Amino acid sequence: MLPFSHFDAALPYERFLTQFGSAGDKARWDRTREAVALTDDQRALLAKFTRRTNVLVLAGAWCGDCAAQCPIFERFAEAAPVLAVRYLDRDAHPEAQQELKINGGDRVPVVVFFSEDGFEVARYGERTLSTYRRLAGEASDGDVAADWLREFERVQWILRLSPRLRKLHND
């Protein structure tokens, strides 16, 4: 299990890109961020999120998959201020990469969702189902933002319905 202390070592979007990315890397991430437009339904769903969720993203500023996906999380956080998104550089934190291997490989991005008090709730990562369908030449009617939003929503429901957190929040 990845310790929550990694979240404390992680950086917000801008600081992560400034510290670990080149000007070209930052430009790629920012282009994706500008291109992401949440639908009204997506914004309404995110506005219903009530539980603080600490979202740790293991990433590489140089990584094309990260540049295509991670800025989506920033749009989610803008619509749902209870989402605290932080980025951890894969190469600067090899112990985290070792813990978060996917199928035996060093993959990014990998997202670890933590509760407000530091318990790991879920992991998701590398590529979404829509991306894999597209890469395999299969028809894909989904999109990456929608795939990720389903994971964020799933985690929010886990947190909202947690007996431990319901007792803590008297709800």
Q: The domain at 5-165 falls in which architecture? A: 3-Layer(aba) Sandwich (3.40)
Of 104-113, 125-134, 158-167, the range with the lowest mean pLDDT is 125-134
Task: Name the least confident of 25-39, 107-121, 128-142.
Answer: 128-142
pTM over 0.85: yes
Decide: residue 120, CB within 10 A, 0-12 exposed, 13-18 middle, 19+ buried: middle
pLDDT band (50, 70, 90) for residue 140: low
Domain chopping of the chain, boundaries: 5-165
Neighbours of 8 (CB within 10 A): 11
